[in-house]
Amino acid sequence: MTRADLIETISEKLNEPKKNVTPIVEEVFNSIKSVLVKRGKCTFVGFALFEVKDRAARESRNPQGPSKFPQRKSLYFVPARV
């Protein structure tokens, strides 16, 4: 599902025009991003967990010549159990 699909689905269910739903969806995503930047973890009970984790530096396994990947942050998504 894309962002546009989400906006369309919500606007149909709420019987609201897309132009009214779009800023709300954008604000939800912006809020999630800001929480992840500040705290590194965002939990929605019954839905999912978003978490920022550090990945260690590593070397590739390319047989044509190894290259190095620096340490970086990565976003993890863990769905809730049903």
Q: Are 39 and 58 in contact (CB under 8 A)?
A: no
Q: Name residue 18's amino acid.
A: K
- Cβ count within 10 A of residue 32: 13
pLDDT of 81: 85
Residues 34 and 44 in one domain: no
What are 14-68's pLDDT values in tens digits? Answer: 999 999 999 999 999 999 999 999 999 999 999 999 999 999 999 888 888 888 8
* pLDDT of 82 strictly over 80: no
Residues 31 and 63 in one domain: no
Residues 26 and 8 in one domain: yes
Domain range for 72 is 40-82
pLDDT of 39: 93
pLDDT of 34: 95
Residue 10 pLDDT grade (very low, low, confident, very high; cuts 50, 70, 90): very high
Backbone angle region of 25, left / alpha / beta, with phi > 0 → left and psi within -120 to 50 → alpha: alpha
CATH number, domain containing residue 60 = 4.10.520.10
Pick from 67, 46, 49, 48: nearest CA to 58: 67
